[in-house]
Chains A and B, each alone.
Chain A
């Protein structure tokens, strides 16, 4: 049994980051001359006022959860897939191509949707593979490769929108023409405007990846590569192939997320259609120290804040970036306070993994769990000194 003091400290460390983020957020709101309670009210109403709003939250939740699941995979392999935003966008481009050029009518719409989603997955995998190969084969750090590829796909999309795919009337850089109706993913109902098939797909991806990570050799290999690439190689893990597979899986999920943005949210291709959701996914996964189990829940909270923030502008003439500020602060303080707890109150942490992480319950005998929750960087030889 743990002494009650340790439990109290653990609970305090769970709540402190949230409390501090909210306090600083409130201070910021007061600093720009608004009432924090009105902000809370606007955020809440913007996200949960009626079933239409909740549908809007779900429409952010779907792509956000997909990329978060994918990012758990790359983080497990010790890879910083900042290129996830570009992989979403490339998926969106591939899906947009199919939506405009594959001539399947209304009667074959479900088939068309499957093709488009598969295309999007392919597009995301393609862009993920470029980051992966640059990293694995050519030694270009995946963070910089990812940032550059994010920018490149944005240039390509703007070129397509203002060039080959520009609307017949009034061509501008605003977006393509709306896609033909058979290509668009249907709404469940006008009162709950979201796509049920995609929700099912998110859960399927969640359970499949959960299984793959925790009950297959591939999942074990990923963890080994992430914990220590050199030892993994010595243990006989095909490290390069394992790393590349992580990029492919994440790219596929990000691509599908991107397709949802263009085939459902916008009904056409726009510049920056990915809307920062990939980066938000990175925050979700960092908040959870790369544990998959709670990703859908945290993604839902983040999606709610994001949806709610659209109301800030209308109701309070307050910039919607407040949502990003709150999310960023929350993740920052969670990371920092985890450090404070580890350094100053180590006795409140269990010897075993205190988290409900499924990864710590499987195959413990085969490989020691990574000492740290976050991936080790290249050249981190001093870590163990």
Chain B
């Protein structure tokens, strides 16, 4: 296969990684029944504070580069986890609406990121570097696409399989799904619903924070205002729905969005040629594509339209197509669970 094409695919996998990690994090949070709507703000705040920590360590010159990076990642994960815990606490303990708190935190974290990031705008800092996996990097096709990446990308693969395994192959995962679907039944069977919800919210938030660091320490190095990842938090939330709260489909969705973006930015810089014929139209309109895709995918997976169209299909394919196209949220998503 064409080498340039494989490199493009590889770069799509690389740039999709923050979206992959953030959506996977939100997936486990929502599987536990909690919506952390604050992603668009938490990503920005985690990114800027992670970058600021790594940059400060570099500037002081006290630590090795890998330690600087690890420090940045740690700070970012802590930021993401704390914001998520705030959503969890306000819902579980204070009985507030998750969507309201999440939305306020979206705005607050974004403004806080702008305020605290003012001194870190457009300066170079430490970056996560590429690390080819020995042997696998030479595999035909798969090598250049998947195994000539940075460690965060490899982590995202492990994360995907790990979450899948946990959700569907362990008793802990069964409990996780239960507290998001039927918390009262899980409670009756002895699950510590509230404590587990805190834990998975914390874990999911930490992953969102990691995704923030993946932007500022790798994909979009540094910090700028407006932030480079603005809007991606919302896209990640939509990907979770598109992915039907299933890790494999979620990752597929993230790659799909990244691919669409790569195509549209390629056209905007190089022009569009079909059969050697240059096609001209206002390329700025291409920026609408990810958002149109977002509406269309939500239309397909959660709208009533698919259901109506399915009625016209032969009975034999109906069931399979429905399972493929539609996705239903965890039944107790966004609701409170009161023990009394």
Stretch from A132-140, A221-229, A234-242 forming part of the interface with B = A132-140
Q: Does B157 contact A (CB under 8 A)?
A: no
Per-position 1/0 for B113-136, Cβ under 8 A of A: 011101100000000000000000
Contact of B95 among A156, A321, A342, A380 (CB under 8 A): A342
Q: Is B97 in contact with A377, judged by CB distance below 8 angstroms?
A: yes
Closest Cβ of chain B to A136, distance in Å, is: 10
Tell me the complex Cα distance, A151–B286, Å: 12
Tell me the complex Cα distance, A340–B298, Å: 36
Q: Is A380 in contact with B103, judged by CB distance below 8 angstroms?
A: no
Note all chain A residues with C-beta closer than 8 A to B118: 32, 318-319, 321
Q: Does A158 contact B (CB under 8 A)?
A: yes
Note all chain A residues with C-beta closer than 8 A to B84: none
Q: Is A335 in contact with B93, judged by CB distance below 8 angstroms?
A: no
Note all chain B residues with C-beta closer than 8 A to A163: 282, 284
Q: Does B287 contact A (CB under 8 A)?
A: yes
Query: Beyond A82-B103, A144-B241, A379-B329, is A139–B111 a contact (Cβ under 8 Å)?
Result: no
> Chain B interface residue count: which class?
35 or more
Q: Restricting to A103-152, which residues have a CB under 8 Å from any CB of B?
A: 134, 137-141, 143-145, 147-149, 151-152
Contact of B96 among A80, A143, A339, A382 (CB under 8 A): A339
Contact of B284 among A141, A159, A340 (CB under 8 A): A159
Q: Does A97 contact B (CB under 8 A)?
A: no
Q: Is A140 in contact with B298, judged by CB distance below 8 angstroms?
A: yes
Query: Beyond A159-B285, A377-B335, is A134–B295 a contact (Cβ under 8 Å)?
Result: yes
Q: Does A279 contact B (CB under 8 A)?
A: yes
Q: Is A382 in contact with B183, judged by CB distance below 8 angstroms?
A: yes
Stretch from A2-10, A207-215, A322-330, A351-359 forming part of the interface with B = A322-330
Q: Restricting to A292-335, which residues have a CB under 8 Å from any CB of B?
A: 318-319, 321-322, 324-325, 328-329, 331-332, 335
Q: Is A325 in contact with B111, judged by CB distance below 8 angstroms?
A: yes
Q: Is B305 in contact with A138, judged by CB distance below 8 angstroms?
A: yes
Q: Does A381 contact B (CB under 8 A)?
A: yes
Q: Is A138 in contact with B299, judged by CB distance below 8 angstroms?
A: yes
Q: Does A288 contact B (CB under 8 A)?
A: no
Note all chain B residues with C-beta closer than 8 A to A139: 299, 302-305
Tell me the complex Cα distance, A380–B331, Å: 9
Closest Cβ of chain B to A319, distance in Å, is: 4
Q: Does B158 contact A (CB under 8 A)?
A: no
Tell me the complex Cα distance, A137–B307, Å: 12
Q: Is A379 in contact with B99, judged by CB distance below 8 angstroms?
A: no
Tell me the complex Cα distance, A42–B299, Å: 48
Which residue of B is nearest A339, CB measured?
Answer: B94
Q: Is B294 in contact with A335, judged by CB distance below 8 angstroms?
A: no
Q: Does A30 contact B (CB under 8 A)?
A: no
A residues contacting B by CB (< 8 A) are: 28, 32, 80, 82, 134, 137-141, 143-145, 147-149, 151-152, 155-156, 158-159, 162-163, 279, 282-283, 286, 318-319, 321-322, 324-325, 328-329, 331-332, 335-336, 338-340, 342-343, 372, 374-375, 377-383, 385
Contacts A148-B238, A159-B285, A382-B337 aside, 14 further interface pairs with beta carbons under 8 A come to A32-B116, A80-B103, A139-B303, A139-B305, A140-B298, A141-B302, A144-B294, A147-B231, A324-B108, A325-B115, A335-B104, A339-B90, A375-B97, A377-B99
- 10 A-B pairs in the complex with CB atoms less than 8 angstroms apart: A80-B99, A140-B298, A143-B99, A152-B288, A155-B285, A335-B104, A339-B93, A374-B97, A380-B334, A381-B335
Q: Which 9 A-B pairs have the closest CB atoms?
A: A339-B94, A328-B108, A324-B111, A321-B114, A139-B303, A319-B118, A374-B97, A138-B303, A148-B291
